[in-house]
């Protein structure tokens, strides 16, 4: 177990990984920060704590747990590759210990362990971005709840040659392939594999009221996972976890299926991000983002993150530096026919802030915009190359943690 001891103010603070002995205190602290359930939660079970793929870290002030965070073991898609991602969640500081800087030491020990585990980037959903910017995280997209009046979907025309049917557990692999194909073309979606996603086919299908498949020519070309919810009047809301289609007609068929609930459901809530291509077939339907969870990215390991992703089959040699958030350094990114290598030393290159590099990596901003925002300075001659290598692909996510 790693232990760090730091002096904050006049008291010593100990930072360490949490064990089952801390579980009840963690439960209370998390309940205070994020809300108490109506019923007291069940006592932590040593066989199920911590959850698979999760490590918990704490700050102890005078022997008392004063701050906690969880690190989830994820992979997410960036530039066509699966990138090891430390997902941070459950960050909370005991009310009376807030404002004393406990988070810096807690992130230091948790992220050092994440790097040692092989994570090259880290992401989180902040309750306020200002808490995490100074730790190197930057906003790259949001997890949106979009509200669409169900009646506006009822008029989507029936596409020819596409039928819909309810998925069963036997369709799990097909649904997964569709998600993978969509996710691999974006920057940011979780792979939904690995220790943090232990679901079986039955768990997945059983988590929704229905998973509806769109089929054309004997092939599955789209799916929507949806939860019906309560009631059958204008307040009733159907929640759509994914609506992923590989043809416009598949998207039409799925929207139309949802629109068929117009007589018993006032609105559809779609959980999505950015400019969702499934919307392209809905020129007339109102699309109101009613809630957003901001999503932030931080680069933990510059050479590791830049060599983990795919590049176009070109050759380029790009010296650069990075400043801030503990990832300062100078390197050269060499891409040979799409094959990346990062070596130490970046004389004569531009300088990214840690936030600037996170934004470019995610495809969230171009070098031109980074310069306007003061996140990229120095020689400009390689900017088009950086944009060609990293400016491809948009940030999108479909999971909240
Ligand atoms: C958010 C929380 C963890 C911050 O704890 P804290 O003890 O104030 O954190 P620290 O003292 O280590 O430092 C926090 C930094 O973030 C900033 N910060 C804290 N709360 C903030 C807020 N709501 N908005 C913007 N910035 C904030 C502080 O100003 C400080 O920055 P500084 O060092 O530049 O002054 C704590 O208030 C908390 O537990 N809140 C309830 C749960 C919560 O919101 N958790 C975050 C989940 S993503």
**Residue 335 sits in a domain of what CATH number?**
3.30.1050.10
- Cβ atoms of residues 136 and 323 within 8 Å: no
Note whether 240 and 324 are same-domain residues: no
What's the gap in Å between 344 CA and the centre of ligand 1? 35
Q: Residues lining ligand 1, judged by CB closer than 6 Å? A: 33, 91-93, 98-104, 126-128, 130-131, 134
Full DSSP string of 294-343: EEEEEES-HHHHHHSS---S--EEEEEEEESTT--EEEEEEEETTEEEEE
The answer to whether position 269 is within a domain reads: yes
End-to-end CA distance of the chain: 25
Note whether 336 and 231 are same-domain residues: no
The answer to whether position 126 is within a domain reads: no
Per-residue confidence (pLDDT) for residue 99, from 0 to 100: 95
Burial (0-12, 13-18, 19+ Cβ within 10 Å), 212: buried
Mean of the pLDDT values across residues 244-263? 97
The answer to whether position 397 is within a domain reads: no
Q: What residue owns the CA closest to ligand 1's atom 33?
A: 101
pLDDT at 319 over 80: yes
- Of the candidates 189, 196, 243, 197, the one whose C-alpha atom is nearest the C-alpha of residue 397 is 189
Share of the chain above pLDDT 70, in %: 98
Note whether 89 and 148 are same-domain residues: no
Mutate to test the pocket of ligand 1, among 65, 130, 131 (most ligand atoms within 8 A of CB): 131
pLDDT at 1 over 60: no
Q: What residue owns the CA closest to ligand 1's atom 30?
A: 131
What's the gap in Å between 132 CA and the centre of ligand 1? 8
Residues 238, 217: Cα–Cα separation, whole Å: 29
Note whether 211 and 255 are same-domain residues: yes
Per-residue confidence (pLDDT) for residue 284, from 0 to 100: 86
pLDDT band with cut points at 50, 70 and 90 for residue 248 = very high
The last residue of a domain, from among 293, 322, 339:
293
- Cβ atoms of residues 135 and 104 within 8 Å: yes
Q: Helix (H, G, I), strand (E, B), or coil: what is residue 127?
A: coil
The last residue of a domain, from among 102, 119, 136:
119
What's the gap in Å between 353 CA and the centre of ligand 1? 22
The answer to whether position 135 is within a domain reads: no
Q: What residue owns the CA closest to ligand 1's atom 13?
A: 101
Share of the chain above pLDDT 90, in %: 90
Q: Give the residue, 42 or 144, on which the prediction is more confident.
A: 144
pLDDT at 10 over 60: no
Note whether 283 and 150 are same-domain residues: yes
pLDDT tens per residue, range 215-247 = 999 999 999 999 999 999 999 999 999 999 999
pLDDT band with cut points at 50, 70 and 90 for residue 11 = low
Number of domains in the chain: 3
Task: For residue 92, give the ligand 1 atom closest to its CA.
Answer: 39
Handedness of CA 112, 117, 123, 127 (dihedral sign): negative
What's the gap in Å between 99 CA and the centre of ligand 1? 7
Residues 119, 196: Cα–Cα separation, whole Å: 14
What's the gap in Å between 131 CA and the centre of ligand 1? 5
**Residue 202 sits in a domain of what CATH number?**
3.40.630.30
Backbone dihedral region of 291: left (phi > 0), alpha (psi from -120 to 50 degrees) or beta? Answer: beta
pLDDT at 6 over 90: no
Note whether 23 and 46 are same-domain residues: yes
Q: What residue owns the CA closest to ligand 1's atom 15?
A: 131
The answer to whether position 201 is within a domain reads: yes
What's the gap in Å between 152 CA and the centre of ligand 1? 42
Task: For residue 106, give the ligand 1 atom closest to its CA.
Answer: 12
pLDDT at 196 over 90: no
Note whether 215 and 104 are same-domain residues: no
Lowest mean pLDDT, pick from 36-45, 168-177, 266-275, 300-309: 36-45
Cβ-proximal residues to 151 (8 Å cutoff; 6+ apart), any chain: 259, 262
Task: For residue 34, give the ligand 1 atom closest to its CA.
Answer: 42
The answer to whether position 94 is within a domain reads: yes
Q: What residue owns the CA closest to ligand 1's atom 14?
A: 131
Q: Which domain holds residue 42?
A: 3-119
Average pLDDT, the chain: 95
Note whether 163 and 226 are same-domain residues: yes
Per-residue confidence (pLDDT) for residue 36, from 0 to 100: 84
pLDDT tens per residue, range 348-393 = 999 999 999 999 999 999 999 999 999 999 999 999 999 999 988 9
Note whether 61 and 149 are same-domain residues: no
Mean of the pLDDT values across residues 101-129? 97
Place of tokens 């801030």: 324
Q: What residue owns the CA closest to ligand 1's atom 10?
A: 101
Note whether 111 and 70 are same-domain residues: yes
What's the gap in Å between 244 CA and the centre of ligand 1? 36
The answer to whether position 400 is within a domain reads: no
Note whether 193 and 217 are same-domain residues: yes
Note whether 226 and 289 are same-domain residues: yes
Q: What residue owns the CA closest to ligand 1's atom 12?
A: 101
Q: How far is CA 151 from CA 164, 167, 187, 226, 238, in A?
A: 19, 25, 33, 17, 12
What's the gap in Å between 67 CA and the centre of ligand 1? 11
The answer to whether position 251 is within a domain reads: yes
pLDDT tens per residue, range 269-297 = 999 999 999 999 997 889 999 999 999 99
Mean of the pLDDT values across residues 264-268? 98
The last residue of a domain, from among 293, 322, 338:
293
């Amino acid at each position: 177990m790693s232990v760090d001891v730091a002096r904050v103010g006049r008291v010593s603070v100990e930072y360490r990984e949490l064990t089952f002995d801390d579980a009840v205190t963690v439960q209370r602290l998390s309940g205070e920060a994020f809300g108490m359930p109506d019923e007291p939660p069940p006592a932590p079970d040593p066989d199920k704590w911590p959850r698979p793929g999760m490590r918990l870290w704490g700050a102890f002030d005078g022997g008392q747990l004063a701050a906690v965070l969880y690190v989830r073991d994820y992979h997410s898609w960036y530039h066509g590759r699966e990138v090891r991602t430390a997902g941070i969640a459950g960050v909370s500081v005991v009310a009376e210990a807030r404002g004393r800087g406990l988070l810096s030491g807690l992130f230091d020990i948790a992220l050092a362990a994440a790097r040692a585990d092989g994570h090259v980037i880290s992401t989180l959903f902040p309750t306020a971005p200002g808490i995490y910017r100074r730790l190197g995280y930057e906003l790259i997209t949001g997890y949106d709840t979009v509200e669409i009046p169900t009646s506006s979907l009822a008029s989507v025309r029936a596409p020819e040659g596409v039928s819909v049917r309810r998925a069963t557990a036997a369709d799990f692999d097909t649904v997964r392939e569709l998600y993978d194909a969509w996710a691999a073309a974006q920057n940011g979606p979780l792979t939904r594999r690995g220790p943090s996603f232990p679901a079986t086919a039955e768990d997945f299908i059983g988590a929704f009221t229905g998973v509806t498949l769109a089929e054309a020519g004997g092939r599955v070309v789209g799916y929507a996972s949806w939860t019906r919810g309560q009631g059958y009047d204008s307040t009733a809301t159907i929640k759509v976890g994914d609506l992923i289609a590989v043809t416009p007609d598949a998207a039409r068929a799925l929207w139309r299926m949802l629109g068929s609930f117009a007589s018993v459901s006032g609105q559809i809530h779609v959980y999505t991000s950015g400019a969702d291509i499934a919307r392209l077939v809905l020129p007339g339907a109102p699309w109101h983002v009613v809630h957003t969870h901001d999503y932030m990215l931080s680069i933990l390991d510059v050479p590791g993150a830049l060599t983990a992703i795919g590049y176009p089959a070109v050759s380029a040699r790009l010296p650069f530096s990075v400043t801030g958030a503990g990832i300062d350094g100078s390197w050269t990114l060499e891409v040979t026919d799409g094959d990346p290598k990062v070596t130490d030393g970046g004389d004569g290159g531009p300088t990214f802030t840690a936030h600037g590099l996170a934004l470019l990596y995610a495809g969230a901003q171009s070098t031109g915009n980074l310069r306007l925002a003061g996140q990229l300075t120095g020689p400009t001659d390689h900017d088009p190359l950086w944009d060609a290598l990293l400016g491809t692909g948009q940030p999108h996510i479909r999971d909240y943690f």
